[in-house]
A = this chain, B = another copy of it.
Amino acid sequence: MKKAVIGIDIGGTYTKFGIIDRQGNCLNDSFINTDIYKDFDKFLLQLNKEIENTLSGIQEKIEIKGVGVGAPNGNYYRGTIEYPPNLHWKGIVPVTEKMKNFFKGIPVVLTNDANAAAIGEMIYGGARNMKDFIVITLGTGLGSGIVVNGELVYGHDGFAGELGHINVKLRGRECGCGRKGCLETYVSATGIKRTVFRFLAERIVESELRNISFNDLTAKMITEAAHRGDPIAIDAFEFTGRILGAKLADTVAHTSPEAIFLLGGLANAGELILNPTIRSMEENLLPIYRNKVKVLLSGLSDLNAGVMGASALAWKELEKK
């Protein structure tokens, strides 16, 4: 009987999941909407129904060994989602405890989405032979998962690795966390939009981005404009990479990783973001670290990195025992 795990990626709009074997093959997958369920129990009931359907669609005989969940503000130690700003469920949601009622006897483990992505990178991606590396997810915000000695860093309280909220500038841009100048207000899909709008305000150069509203603008549009030579878009990538590189230099001084992987919407811009980031990181590194740290695009596909990461978390947990 083939062994597999269920990887569940809870996002603000959709919750995606897949049935994944140890080699990273997806045997079947599906999704449900997240945002129509104000109540976590009803969400879970629907999710469970859809998982049953999806399992029954697999021809070969399989045995589910574990369940891994990636979720915003997920706490590994407690198996909870705590005060998620982009989900309807308020306060502390005891996710693994409630899921265990459905998956009787099967271990359920949860962490935040960026940590799950880091474990995905370690199990299936570009970090398979690395013991010290970092994954940075550049989506709506900036998430991070730090791996030291082959283990994810959860820290004392299970919330380690919030690099999106290290400070770039005192009294800088307003952040959703209530503070100002956090890294993700500059470096993320939203951050680069804010940079574009600042440049559109300050400069008089023509730009195709002058025809698009803030709410309509996406990181993909900025990438495409940059490829067409738009000066505002090109400078916005340069500015974003310069800030990211400088802050990664400080991060290297903490854990001295072998590589830093970029993943998510903004990472899809490839060299547009990679080149200024690497240049700025090298300029800002302490000499002993220079030319040692690789900055790479993730080995996971952006489309299913969340599900793959969650399933990798389940495999990693099973291998601990």
A residues engaging B (CB < 8 A)? 82-83, 130-132, 146, 148-149, 151, 153-163, 165-167, 170, 177-179, 246, 249-251, 253-258, 284, 286-289, 292-293
- Copies of this chain, complex-wide, total 2
Tell which of A157, A162, A246, A253 has the most Cβ of chain B within 10 Å.
Answer: A253
The 4 closest A-B pairs by CB, nearest first: A155-B256, A160-B256, A156-B258, A166-B250
Q: Give min CB distance, A246 to chain B, whole Å.
A: 7
Q: Give min CB distance, A27 to chain B, whole Å.
A: 33
- A257 touching B292 by the CB < 8 A rule? no
- B132 touching A155 by the CB < 8 A rule? yes
Tell which of A165, A170, A246 has the most Cβ of chain B within 10 Å.
Answer: A165
- Per DSSP, are chain A's interface residues mostly helix, strand or loop, or mixed? loop
Q: Which residues of B contact A287 (CB under 8 A)?
A: 177-178
A-B contact pairs, 21 of them (CB 8 A): A131-B156, A148-B148, A149-B151, A149-B153, A153-B255, A154-B256, A156-B258, A156-B293, A159-B256, A160-B255, A161-B256, A162-B253, A162-B286, A163-B253, A166-B253, A166-B254, A167-B284, A179-B286, A251-B254, A254-B255, A255-B255
Beyond the given pairs A156-B293, A161-B253, A166-B253, 20 more chain A to chain B contacts, judged by CB atoms under 8 angstroms and listed by A's residue number, are: A83-B288, A132-B160, A146-B254, A146-B255, A148-B148, A154-B256, A155-B256, A157-B256, A159-B288, A160-B253, A161-B256, A165-B253, A165-B286, A167-B246, A167-B284, A179-B284, A179-B286, A251-B254, A254-B254, A254-B255
